[in-house]
Structure 1
Amino acid sequence: MRYLDYDPHDIVYITEIRQALDRSILDNYIQDKDENYFASRNLSVPILIWWTPFTYDTGSYIQCGAEQTRCFISNIRKYRDNKDFSAFLFYGTDFHLYDLPLPRYQHEQWALLHEESPKNNYAFSFESIMSMFNHTATFKRHSDVPLTTQWLASIDDLLDQTYVIDIKEKTNLQTIENLAPIIYIQSDCFTPSDRDLYIKELMKYIPIDSYGSCLHNKDLPENLRIPVETMEHDDILKLVGKYKFALAFENAVCTDYITEKFWRPLRVGTIPIVYGSDQFQDFLPDNHSAISILDFPTPADLARYIHELNQNDTLYDSYRQFKLTRTISNDTLLAQTMSKRTWGIHNDHIRGNFISKLECHVCERVHKTRQDPTLKYQAKFDDYGCPSPTTFDSQGLKLERSGDWYRQYEFSRCQVNVFEELIEQGNYSFTEKELYDAAAKRFSPSFRRDEFLK
């Protein structure tokens, strides 16, 4: 619920964006105002600014919590000069070291929203960058607003029987419809996890139906070929439900980074084969409902086990007990997280979304720090802090400190180091090119050293 800046009595419910937005909305709004308009406005509440244009909101009031705490929030940077300005909010993908509100003043608070993969911005993999934030909403369980379950609407979705197919019928479908034991649907083929290298090796030992553009060998119906629009389409869920196993390989490896690839097979009664978060088991419905590739020395070993499950109905269904009995273990982190979550997905008109949740979280904290100036909030490295990317060799064995994505990660490290030195020198006006060129001088010699070429 938001109140328009020009009429606090008009209530606006912002639930979704139905058209493409761009910066012109903000630019046009600013052009109509005189030079001192934003600095001189008396808004009487703390001002929060989305430094990275995200909601394209020119200005509105938010009302949060049981005490109806109020803040004014806008995507217009000029409000920084207002006496009521309190905090910046940043969307991680659009966070750039060469475009930050520097110097940073002591009274300003910074908040990070980044539910996306580490591939979108490696800056948050380095402690010095995470230390710049006071508040966080990321996929990490330790974040202030944890978004680990951002792709799961409810526990009921996991217990729902709509798409569940009996094991004997799944076996028959492999013959009748010429289905492989495993389904893979992915069209992002160049990723930090280098998942396709492993899957390509796995395909040598067991059939896999690959419907996306990555390792493609089977066609989706034409109405399902736009990934973002159809990832939770009813027909996709039915298709995944026909298979005994689904590859749930994330595009990057980081603790708690879990997406629809993980939840979708669990929803439809198919066993996920997982590669991504090293602690994904904490978010399973029970302790025996998914398979980790890290439990097997090689893809060939994994394939042997999948063949065994494919031929043993009792062993197979042991992975689906939560689904068949409609029971979530009470001690799972999944159950605890979902019971505490106060936001929804799919444009939830009642609970809102994690964007508004972060905005209110910051708003409430800002009010607390105004009442008690000694109160400090500090983000932790583990609020994001992902490891460097790894890859696989031609036999599907994991390789450290190797591959194109690892080089990108290390180049980001060089940029962060240059950034730190510039700030220490009091240089706040460097350009993107200056940062890039300085980092490149450090990066190239580093990657001529033997340790980076193993």
Structure 2
Amino acid sequence: MKFQVRCFNIILLVLLLILIYFFFYHLRYIDDDGEPIGTVYITETRGRLDKSILTDYVKDKEDEYFSAANISVPILVWWTPFTYDTGSYTRCNNNNQARCFISNIRKYRDNKQFSAFLFYGTSFRLYDLPLPRHDHEQWSLIHEESPKNNYAFSFESIMNMFNHTATFKRHSDLPLTTQWLASIDDLLDQTYLIDVKEKTQLQTTENLAPIIYIQSDCSTPSDRDLYVKELMKYIQVDSYGGCLHNKDLPENLRNPVETMEHDEILKLVSKYKFTLAFENAICTDYITEKFWRPLKVGTVPIVYGSDQFQDFLPDNHSAISMLDFTTPELLARFIHELNVNDTMYDSYRHFKLYQIISNDTLLARTMSERKWGIHNDRVRGNFIHQFECLVCERIHKTRQDPTIKYQAKFDDYGCPPPTTFDKNGEKLERSGNWYRSYEFTRCQLEVFHELLDQKNYSFTEKDINNAATKRFAPSFRRNEFLR
């Protein structure tokens, strides 16, 4: 009987705690006038969200609702809808002083408490910006994606427009370089580790190549497929994705977004000795799952991406840089050599075999200091919330002390022009279709800033493109070195 009573009391306590949690969770989404505000849609694997969530919400309000809303804390507005939050209060790092109201409704700009815009880089458009910009407004950029998504941030004139940044660059205000790595433990885990002798046997018993390549984005600024196609002349590469396809994945693993961390994909990669970790665009600190996945499963990555990727390795000898070889043929020779020398091969897996991370690496320091998590970390949250809090806390500081100024730097994103390869796999500068796209963006930005200088804020996308085309086409006709 006592046991039953105790169980009953425990169940009641649990139910009470759940009710308390949802009560306070609900309070976060209550406006100052007591009206429920809306739902927050923050996910890390983002699907296509319907903007009608925002437009329908605005329709139900009077014109002066947003400007007259009784809000007593700084207002931050996502100009480019990203979280699809119609409005909520947030408190950062349990800091009662750093409290802000965050919304994706642009009309809150008219409220006296409005302080900053938040922009998601992929959706940033020159013809759709809050212009003219008012002196008290601060602009904030979050862009964890590749420069392929938007070349505008590769130019200093645009980066100078921002006050706060969260990008993959280590020098950003909120560095997202490790956005695809959950923890250091993932790199030390031996769940998928396969002995080198077994890997060698698998090349015969399962007809595996020394190298695996899984890519389905076949038109990229890095032009990686041109290089891989040449590499394939000198060494066998099993290509499972849509690009240079020569080997089939099981049907349930063919969606590259949904299966990139699938257990069966990890098991497949672990069977190979080497993985081509070639990014879709080349920029310092742009590092994705292509880099981390082979390290997590005990396969040696061959890297083409960040020119400083070594800073984020578990130690100084755990990956191979494609750029260390002048041609694909020379890289293939080296891989052939490692493929038949177990000792040399395992020297690249020392960190994994002995579960040791060099304490002085930038990777170790970054992961120890990182305040956010991935895979919907319930304890630390995600980098989106951390970015909102960074801006919120800085806004409070500038309100307390107007002499404090924040200014983004070119190196908070700025990426080099895209390159390509010739028929022999040797790098070509200032050439190729993606270089043309980069240069056309330069022309667009020249037009954009001239319009701002003229205080002309009513231009359209067509206006910018037409003016940019007139500058772009003659320039490229003069440059005969372009293909």
Give the one of 323, 329, 336 matched to 1:300: 329
Moved over 3 A (4+): 5-20
Q: Does 1:46 align with 2:71?
A: no
Look up the match of 1:163.
Answer: 192
Q: Does 1:367 align with 2:399?
A: no
The runs of 5 or more residues in structure 2 that have no matched partner are 1-24
| 2:154/2:414 contact within 8 Å kept | yes
User: CA–CA distance in 1 between the matches of 2:446 and 2:47?
Assistant: 39
User: CA–CA distance in 2 between the matches of 1:131 and 1:40?
Assistant: 32
Q: Does 1:59 align with 2:87?
A: yes
Shift of 1:183: 0.2
Tell me: CA distance 1:248–1:132, structure 2 relative to 1, closer, same or farther (3 Å). same
Shift of 1:450: 2.7
| Higher Cα Rg, which structure | 2
User: CA–CA distance in 2 between the matches of 1:395 and 1:365?
Assistant: 51
Look up the match of 2:406.
Answer: 377
Tell me: CA distance 1:12–1:349, structure 2 relative to 1, closer, same or farther (3 Å). farther
Q: Deviations over 1:147-188 (max 9, x none)?
A: 000000000000000000000000000000000000000000
User: CA–CA distance in 2 between the matches of 1:219 and 1:255?
Assistant: 33
Look up the match of 2:354.
Answer: 325
User: How do residues 116-127 of structure 1 correspond to structure 2 at under 5 angstroms?
Assistant: 116-127=145-156
User: How do residues 305-316 of structure 1 correspond to structure 2 at under 5 angstroms?
Assistant: 305-316=334-345
User: How do residues 12-411 of structure 1 correspond to structure 2 at under 5 angstroms?
Assistant: 16=43, 20-68=48-96, 69-411=98-440
Q: Residue 439 of structure 2 aligns to a residue in which SS?
A: helix
| 1:15/1:352 contact within 8 Å kept | no
Q: Does 1:3 align with 2:28?
A: yes
Shift of 1:5: 3.5
User: CA–CA distance in 2 between the matches of 1:21 and 1:236?
Assistant: 28
TM-score for both structures, normalised by structure 2 = 0.92
Task: Return the letter of the residue paired with 2:416.
Answer: P
| 1:52/1:91 contact within 8 Å kept | yes
Tell me: CA distance 1:150–1:239, structure 2 relative to 1, closer, same or farther (3 Å). same
Task: Return the letter of the residue paired with 2:85.
Answer: D
Q: Deviations over 1:397-454 (max 9, x none)?
A: 0000000000000000000000010000000110000011000000000000135527
Larger mean Cα displacement after TM superposition, 200-209 or 64-73: 64-73
Q: Deviations over 1:98-133 (max 9, x none)?
A: 000011111100000000000000000000100000
| 1:446/1:452 contact within 8 Å kept | no
Q: Residue 306 of structure 1 aligns to a residue in which SS?
A: helix
Q: Residue 438 of structure 1 aligns to a residue in which SS?
A: helix
User: CA–CA distance in 2 between the matches of 1:452 and 1:109?
Assistant: 42
| 1:3/1:9 contact within 8 Å kept | no
Shift of 1:15: 5.5
The runs of 5 or more residues in structure 1 that have no matched partner are none
User: CA–CA distance in 1 between the matches of 2:460 and 2:286?
Assistant: 32
Shift of 1:11: 12
Q: Deviations over 1:312-364 (max 9, x none)?
A: 00000000000001000011000000000000000111101010000000000
Tell me: CA distance 1:38–1:266, structure 2 relative to 1, closer, same or farther (3 Å). same
| 2:90/2:102 contact within 8 Å kept | yes
| 1:140/1:256 contact within 8 Å kept | yes
Q: Residue 4 of structure 1 aligns to a residue in which SS?
A: coil
| 2:39/2:85 contact within 8 Å kept | no
User: CA–CA distance in 2 between the matches of 1:349 and 1:28?
Assistant: 30
Identity of aligned residues (%): 76
Shift of 1:297: 1.1
Look up the match of 1:445.
Answer: 474
Q: Deviations over 1:12-49 (max 9, x none)?
A: 88663897421111110001001100001111000000
Shift of 1:65: 2.3
Q: Residue 241 of structure 2 aligns to a residue in which SS?
A: coil
User: CA–CA distance in 2 between the matches of 1:75 and 1:377?
Assistant: 23
TM-score for both structures, normalised by structure 1 = 0.98
User: CA–CA distance in 1 between the matches of 2:261 and 2:350?
Assistant: 23
Aligned residues: 454
Tell me: CA distance 1:278–1:363, structure 2 relative to 1, closer, same or farther (3 Å). same
User: CA–CA distance in 2 between the matches of 1:181 and 1:199?
Assistant: 14
Shift of 1:66: 3.9
Shift of 1:3: 1.2
Q: Residue 238 of structure 1 aligns to a residue in which SS?
A: helix
